[in-house]
Amino acid sequence: MKRARLKVLGNEQIGPYFLIRVGCGALDPGCPGQFFMLEAPGRVLPRPMSVCLAPAGELAFLIDPIGPGTRALCALEPGDAIHVLGPLGHGFRLDVERPLLVGGGIGIAPLPFVSERLGAPPALLGFRSEWHAEAAALIPNAEVVIEPTYVTEAMPAGHDVLACGPEPMLETVRALSPDAQLAWEAPMACGYGACYGCAVEIGGELKRLCVEGPVLAAA
């Protein structure tokens, strides 16, 4: 875990989302599914974002501007600089035989990095609209479904599922595929185990998602 002030290299809108690219400086990009805390200009707390892509010398984050912090991040311009802390948490295990990436909405954010590391395995992505689905272009070899169809209706059996998306989607994936690896989300103040804000129920106990996850085994 290191903290550095990184320069914004680019900000590209993809459907309703924004792909923010920063120079990664001395920071290690970590493993797919790990995350960084990004300083949200003008806000008290940073925001946790999983790595979307990590080309040489860069980190890219896919962000949905849904609140004051994410709106501040999506308003960043090339040349701006923000503090970034990471990499944090535990990412996806990549020693899988028949990977299938499953993503819903902004939950696809960590999957381009996973796809790259696994050599473009098949992916199944669900979105609210055609506009949101523009982000599917970040992931090769992807089948896209649009609401009212859900990814969990189109999920083939017999795969090692690596999934990220809204909670109801992850719960359904868990039921269909008990061996899946699921990337969860929770509000976090710190991202490194200090605040106890991101507690989720794991094995019947409340535990810190930033320490135990954000990727957890389904069963």
Partner 1 sequence: MLLLNGSGCLDALIAPDVARALDAFVTKTITPLPRDGNAPVRIAETEHGMLNAIGLANPGREKFLDEVLPHLRELGFPLWVSVGGFAADEYAETCAALDDVTIELNLSCPNVDEAPESAAEIVGACRAATDLPLYAKLSPAAWDVADTARAVEAAGADGLSLVNTIRGLSLDERTLRPTLERGSGGYSGPALKPIALAAVYACARATTIPIVGMGGVRTGRDALELIAAGASAVALGTVLFSDPDAPLRVRTELDVERSARGFDSAHDARGIAHWTDAGQRADVHANVL
| Residues at the interface with partner 1 (CB under 8 A) | 1, 3, 37, 39, 43-46, 67-69, 83, 85, 186-190, 192-200, 205-206, 211
CB of 26 to partner 1, least distance (A): 13
Nearer to partner 1, 106 or 125 (CB): 106
CA dihedral 7, 135, 113, 196 (to 10 degrees): 70
Nearer to partner 1, 120 or 202 (CB): 202
Angle at 3 between CA 45 and CA 118, to 5 degrees: 100
Beginning with the edge strand found earlier in the chain, give each strand of the sheet holding 81-88 in spatial order: 47-50, 35-38, 81-88, 2-14, 17-23, 58-63
CB of 69 to partner 1, least distance (A): 7
Nearer to partner 1, 36 or 113 (CB): 36
Nearer to partner 1, 137 or 206 (CB): 206
CB of 104 to partner 1, least distance (A): 20
CB of 65 to partner 1, least distance (A): 13
Q: Do 47 and 70 form a contact (C-beta atoms < 8 A)?
A: yes
Nearer to partner 1, 145 or 186 (CB): 186
On the 0-12 / 13-18 / 19+ scale of CB atoms within 10 A, 148 is exposed
CB of 107 to partner 1, least distance (A): 18
Q: 203-212, long-range: CB within 8 Å, 24+ apart, which pairs?
A: 209/89, 209/184, 209/185, 210/48, 210/88, 210/89, 210/186, 211/89, 212/90
